[in-house]
Amino acid sequence: MKTLIACYSFTGNTSKVAESLKEATGADFTRIEPVKDANYLMKCLSALFKRRTPIKPCATDLKGYDAVIVCSPVWADSVPAAINQYIDELKGCEGKKFGIIVTYGSTGQNRVSGQIMAALEKKKMTFIDSIWVTQDEARAGDYAEKVKQLAAELN
């Protein structure tokens, strides 16, 4: 299955997990980055109020892919504005599969996964699986089994 991993990471935790999945699957990788980075408080407020923010050019057309894995941290128990924007910009989604990687501090992983899932299902995509990785697991590199589980779903 030809897969695209789309990753937004602020602290590097989400990126570490996403890169590990890339190595395990040979998937393509695209980095989601805001055009203008906001401070921590503004990021949290933007996520809480389900806002969007302009993002730098990245792979948003799923033509030629069978699946996309959206990798997101939790901001204020919500989806970051850059992820909301990325999902809005996705094209060629119908009939494709998707998975989700969420990294989090202490809460919000279920809510963020649900919000991403709902947005992608509206684009007529089919859910594969999701994994949740705490910031402590990400920092310690203790997520290999979770990545292996998701990789198995993609192969």
pLDDT of residue 80: 94
| C-alpha–C-alpha distance, residues 4 and 113, integer Å | 18
Tens-digit pLDDT string for the chain (155 aa): 899 999 999 889 999 999 999 999 999 999 999 998 777 767 766 777 788 899 999 999 999 999 999 999 998 899 999 999 999 999 999 999 999 999 999 999 999 999 999 999 999 999 999 999 999 999 999 999 999 999 998 87
Tokens describing residue 43: 């990021």
User: How many separate domains does the chain show?
Assistant: 1
Domain residue limits at 25: 3-154
The full DSSP string for 94-106 is: TT-EEEEEEEESS
| Cβ–Cβ under 8 Å, residues 39 and 16 | no
Q: Any idea what the CATH number is for the domain that residue 28 is in?
A: 3.40.50.360
pLDDT of residue 114: 97
Tokens describing residue 18: 């996403």
pLDDT of residue 45: 67
| Cβ–Cβ under 8 Å, residues 69 and 5 | yes
pLDDT of residue 116: 98
pLDDT of residue 75: 87
Measuring CA to CA, how many Å separate 120 from each of 49, 81, 124, 125?
19, 15, 7, 6
